[in-house]
Amino acid sequence: MRTVRRLIVIVLFDGVDLLDVTGPPEVFSLAQRETDEAAGYDVVLAAETMDPVTTGAGVRVLPDTTFGDLSEKGIDTLIVPGAVEVDSLRRVRALTDPRVVVRVRQLAERTRRVTSVCVGAHVLAAAGLLDGRRATTHWSTAQQLATDHPAIEVDADPIFIREGDVWTGAGISACLDLSLALVADDLGETVALRVARQLVMYLKRPSGQSQFSVPLERVSSTRRIEDLRHHISRNIGEPLTLADLAAHAHISDRQLTRIFKTELGTTPHAYVESARVEVARSQLESTDATLERVASTCGFGSVDTLVRAFRRSLDTTPTEYRRRFRTSRD
């Protein structure tokens, strides 16, 4: 059998996020160990020179090769991490070095599959590789990406997005999810799941899995809305109609909708559904409750409604979610 070796190139530069550099090689190394096929990965770290690169964590990393030395080689997968700066107010901004952007553009021309992890999407964007595509990045810099590159359809929610031969991943530990997806694409789902098990990742998140959970969403500055959020959480199995919520807040339906849109950027109905999905996820991960029971206790009313909500929010079904994400067994 002919041995297939896939050359994986990870781009190095000063200030790069350390985990985005070291995480993917662990996944590819375990994939090599977990498969019996005559296939494998050659992972190299490439930089402008062979000098040590200082990561954003302060750890120095030695390159395996230079960009120049790769000029004649065909690359299977190019992985582009990112770098950020944080100001005194803890605001995060993605950084792009023009020299790195040029190198990435050149390397991409002879690469089968181009990927970014975390804020590396900003580098791909600056190289013109995401124009006209849907892409994701770390949620903290998604607005920056959308503002700087209006030709890109930025979606801050998914763990990763595949658009043809270009993949973008969220941050920061999502580099493992993206790498597992690449392994599944190359060697099959079974190998990827075995790798996830070796990584003690209890779940292998699908691309539609949200970066966010309801408790992490932005906090409203309006006490009335915060009270409603707690009310929703405490009464998740109740109908929680627009009229019910408006009555609880002692305001009109129209005023409630306007305040939710202003304060939380969503509608009351969408927020309630996301809260129900969050509770359902927890039950599916940690209990043996039937789908009928989950639908009832989470306020969906029927399994069909539960399934539709999961498809909208997570692009999967409750049954598939439980299969992938179950964290305990009785």
Kindly list the distances between the CA atom of residue 241 and the CA atoms of 235, 251, 268, in Å, as whole numbers in the listed order: 12, 14, 9
pLDDT reported for residue 193? 82
- Whether 221 and 298 share a structural domain: yes
Query: Residue 179 maps to which CATH number?
Result: 3.40.50.880
- Whether 267 and 225 share a structural domain: yes
- Whether 188 and 277 share a structural domain: no
Where is average pLDDT lowest: 110-119, 125-134, 220-229, 242-251? Answer: 220-229
pTM: 0.68
Catalytic hit among 45, 118, 129, 184: 118
Which residues form the domain of 240?
214-325
Where is average pLDDT lowest: 2-6, 47-51, 282-286? Answer: 2-6
Is residue 305 assigned to a domain? yes
Is residue 242 assigned to a domain? yes
% of residues, the chain, pLDDT over 90:
63
Is residue 205 assigned to a domain? no
Where is average pLDDT lowest: 161-165, 293-297, 315-319, 324-328? Answer: 324-328
- Whether 284 and 146 share a structural domain: no
Query: Could you identify the residue written with the tokens 């559904």?
Result: 273
pLDDT > 70? residue 217: no
Rounded CA gap, 170 and 172, in Å? 6
Question: Which pair of structure tokens corresponds to residue 223?
Answer: 């006490």
State pLDDT tens for residues 78-109: 999 999 998 887 889 999 999 999 999 999 99
- Whether 189 and 251 share a structural domain: no
Rounded CA gap, 328 and 330, in Å? 7
pLDDT reported for residue 320? 86
Residue 40 vs residue 253, higher pLDDT: 253
Residue 323 vs residue 214, higher pLDDT: 323
User: How many structural domains comprise the chain?
Assistant: 2
State pLDDT tens for residues 278-316: 899 888 888 899 999 999 999 999 999 999 999 888 878
- Whether 165 and 240 share a structural domain: no
- Whether 223 and 194 share a structural domain: no
Is residue 203 assigned to a domain? no
Q: Is the peptide bond before 161 cis (omega within 30 degrees of 0)?
A: no
181 sits in the region (left: phi over 0; alpha: psi -120 to 50; else beta) called alpha
Secondary structure of residue 233 in the 3-state scheme: helix
- Whether 223 and 127 share a structural domain: no
pLDDT > 90? residue 47: yes
- Whether 157 and 39 share a structural domain: yes
Is residue 230 assigned to a domain? yes
118 is catalytic: yes
